[in-house]
Amino acid sequence: MNHFIKHNHTTHTQSFLAEAQGLELLQQWVDKTQAQIKLPKVIEVSEQQLILTHINATHPTPSLQQQLGKELAKLHSAEHSFCGLENDNFIGLNPQKNCISHNWGEFFWQYRLKCQVELIEDSPIQQRFSDILHSAQVNLTDWLNQNCKHFSLLHGDLWSGNVMFDQAHVWLIDPAVYFGDSEADIAITELFGGFSQTFYAAYQSIKPLSPVYPVKRNIYNLYHYLNHYNLFGISYLSACQRAFSTIQQDFT
């Protein structure tokens, strides 16, 4: 059997261990929900190396895009009693802080948006974003709680590069798992493109999006814009500024 080997060239010694735990948690709930989604098997993991099963990747057919939508909706439909996660993990190359919570709005405000704002190195920008975030805290957290029906297991970094297809299967890779609002996973699918309308139609045939999803999409994707700004720099700043302007207008 062919293997795929990843080597850790970062200072984050726990990143592969967290990735392996995320894959195993997803596999556990894929099995429980009988969702037709595949995860690469962890063959070996250490701080320096992660060995996974190899995927014979090809371009997705419309039927596989449809399968992805339906099976992801099945996974998201499983209800969980808490949001967050017991252990910290990673979102790309940045740490992703977690805790066990029953307050989704507060969790997302503190452990997603606030944590990313605190990573910003430019002091005036950090202060500006922090001021808006604190002004919006009560209204934003209440609104997110009111508009989250239940907690789902999230892939956490579900852009198109983290979905692969072989001739017959859908594969999810590189997770940043936690429990939360399923629409946070759908929001990031729109961030960098790559998901067809067949996918969205199939997903909504099982789990329709909420009427306020367009607003939630802007809030949830702010987390990823902030993460990319912190990782890759100023080209993502304008997207962060637009999202914060929306939050300031709607929630302060």
Residues serving a catalytic function are: 157
Q: Is 166 helix (H, G, I), strand (E, B) or coil?
A: coil
DSSP per position, 46-100 = -SSEEEEE-----PPPHHHHHHHHHHHHHHHHS-BS-EE-SS-EEETTEEE---E
* Cα separation values, 64 from 40, 96, 164, 187, Å: 17, 30, 10, 20
Residues 6+ apart with CB under 8 A from 138: none
Question: CA gyration radius for the chain?
Answer: 18
Q: Count CB-CB contacts under 10 A for residue 129.
A: 25
Q: What pairs with residue 52 in β-bridges?
A: 4, 42
Contact 92, 227 (CB under 8 A): yes
What is d(CA 12, CA 92) in angstroms, rounded to the nearest whole number? 11
Q: State residue 126 phi and psi, 5-degree precision.
A: -60, -45
Give the closest residue to 120 by CA, choosing from 139, 94, 158, 88. Answer: 94
Any idea which residue has 């997770």 for tokens? Answer: 175
